[in-house]
């Protein structure tokens, strides 16, 4: 797993991300969670160490930080799609079986319907749960990272923006820059 991070640039190899992803890993996400931990370690958690060494906020943000954020977002989207597809198939099968299910007359079996309508949590609910938890964690980590970047780098990332945008550096300006990065790199995981 450690070979997924390029030692010379702290970027993630897209093929390594796609190797981690499988429906089985979404249902049992230990490998994915390990990947997320390593990715956060080499990007967000190291920003306060790497930026003074490299000297360039723009380079670090665009080449390292956004690369890691995008990889992690891709993982969340992938596992959510796995869960969505499985849920849709399960619902279709359930609708078919409900048509065939007979309701038990309570006069004949007073306890026969006690479980009618009860559905145990699906395996996909587990995927939705851990993805939601990790996304919330991700948001907190990104907010902390952006707070650091605003203090350390100020508007340096946004020099290509208009003067009024540069003076108003906020969470939203970094988020907007990240959205531009995602659009520019939307084909990154078509390996």
* Cut 0.75: pTM above it: yes
Q: Which of 83, 156, 148 is nearest to 122 (CA)?
A: 83
Alpha carbon of 54 to those of 45, 50, 60: distances in Å? 15, 6, 8
Q: Which of 16, 61, 71 is nearest to 178 (CA)?
A: 61
pLDDT > 70 in the chain, percent: 73
153-175 per-position pLDDT tens digit: 765 555 444 444 444 456 677 78
DSSP state of 76: H
- As a whole number of angstroms, the distance between CA 148 and CA 158 comes to 15
Domain map (residue ranges) of the chain? 2-88+120-184
For position 159, what pLDDT does the model report?
45
Phi, psi of 5 (to 5 degrees): -100, 125
Name 12's bridge partners: 5
Q: What is the mean pLDDT of the chain?
A: 80
34-63 per-position pLDDT tens digit: 999 999 999 999 988 888 666 678 888 888
Q: What is the mean pLDDT of residues 120-132?
A: 92
Q: Which of 47-61, 100-114, 120-134 has the highest mean pLDDT?
A: 120-134
């Amino acid at each position: 797993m450690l070979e997924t991070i390029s030692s010379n640039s702290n970027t993630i190899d897209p093929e390594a991300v796609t190797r981690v992803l499988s429906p089985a890993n979404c249902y049992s996400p230990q490998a994915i969670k390990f990947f997320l931990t390593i990715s956060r370690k080499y990007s967000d958690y190291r920003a306060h160490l790497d930026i003074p060494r490299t000297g360039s906020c723009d380079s670090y943000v665009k080449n390292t930080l956004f690369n890691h954020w995008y990889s992690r977002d891709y993982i969340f989207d992938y596992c959510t799609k796995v869960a969505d597809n499985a849920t849709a198939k399960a619902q279709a099968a359930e609708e078919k079986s409900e048509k065939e299910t007979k309701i038990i007359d309570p006069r004949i079996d007073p306890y026969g319907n006690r479980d009618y309508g009860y559905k145990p949590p699906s395996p996909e609910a587990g995927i939705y749960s851990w993805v939601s938890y990790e996304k919330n964690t991700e948001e907190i980590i990104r907010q902390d990272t952006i707070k650091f970047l605003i203090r350390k780098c100020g508007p340096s990332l946004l020099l290509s923006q208009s003067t009024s945008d540069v003076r108003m550096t906020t969470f939203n300006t970094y988020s907007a820059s990240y959205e531009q990065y995602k659009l520019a790199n939307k084909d990154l995981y078509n390996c």
